[in-house]
Structure 1
């Protein structure tokens, strides 16, 4: 069982089957099936990696992810880049959310560790 779980962790997040649940966190709405992110009535254009990263954080809002874990889950176990790629993607997401009118910064930096999402999550099925 541990081997199967380890193998599943190595599958990049974007290659796993996505949920058709709509996730709502405060003013942010995430539609995984159509890979859309909305702030109130404003669509936010995210790259595929940015969307995967934000969606992973949104699915686990109270969990802090390390940069290494985010790299493994989003980019895959065979990614040989720098973990600062996560920082750059987070920065890009924050800027895009701010431009779209997000009234708060939903991504919280956990210094020395990584990131987590803050806000009240409501899941609509």
Structure 2
């Protein structure tokens, strides 16, 4: 069950928010001042925070700014003054949204539900990116999905066809491919140009990858046959 932290000094409003959220399947926790709310947010696990602007002990502005240093969950600020909206927008606090009192309880639930959904969607995407399968040989790392490569942990910028050529060779290590085969596989049979393009791109890759600690070229020329990505 998703859990919401309500930081609100008006107990009647806090209980109203709690009742509507719990009626829609959320678990809630209450804090009635900024210091307690900040402590709860840092030490317990929540899926979203409803944060009042005017709080005893520490303002909602300060609490939001502090929480954003370590937390990425949705923070919806609640204010009784419309002029606070400009502050929320302009201070770079990191709030995801705001509600102005009095607000509709159904709007409150809809905002919370929407922000939790978006947050979970983005988190899933980030996890998938982090789980990307790497191709690593010695001090070279290739990330196929994000199309990035790192040499000695430093990113090397490749243009599109340079990356595709390197990736194809690295995915087929120690196999020798002729220039014609590489041109067909990377550029496509219908592409303009000829196999000489492969030589140009191989030389560019060697320039960018040749300066590494091992002093070994990753791409080896096999005379009379073509090129291979050597890993042995």
| TM-score normalized with structure 1 length | 0.74
Report the counterpart of residue 115 of structure 1 in structure 2: 227
**2:161 is the alignment partner of 1:49:** yes
Report the counterpart of residue 33 of structure 2 in structure 1: none
CA–CA separation in structure 1 for the residues paired with 2:194 and 2:219: 20
- The alignment covers a number of residue pairs equal to 100
**1:72 is paired with a residue of what secondary structure?**
helix
Mark the structure with the bigger radius of gyration: 2
Report the counterpart of residue 80 of structure 1 in structure 2: 192
CA–CA separation in structure 2 for the residues paired with 1:34 and 1:118: 23
Matches within 5 A, 1:23-62: 23-62=135-174
- What whole-Å deviation, never above 9, does each CA across 1:51-93 have from its counterpart, x for those lacking one? 0000000001121111111111110111231211000000000
**1:116 is paired with a residue of what secondary structure?**
strand
| TM-score normalized with structure 2 length | 0.41
Q: Any conservation in 1 of the 2:210–2:218 contact (CA below 8 Å)?
A: no
Q: Which structure 1 residue ranges, 5 or more long, are not aligned?
A: 1-19, 121-125
Q: Where do 4+ consecutive residues of structure 1 move more than 4 Å?
A: none
Q: Any conservation in 1 of the 2:139–2:153 contact (CA below 8 Å)?
A: no
Q: Which structure 2 residue ranges, 5 or more long, are not aligned?
A: 1-131
Q: Any conservation in 1 of the 2:174–2:229 contact (CA below 8 Å)?
A: yes
CA–CA separation in structure 2 for the residues paired with 1:115 and 1:83: 12
- What whole-Å deviation, never above 9, does each CA across 1:28-64 have from its counterpart, x for those lacking one? 1000111011112111111110000000000011211
Could you say what the CA RMSD is over the residues aligned between the two structures, in angstroms? 1.4
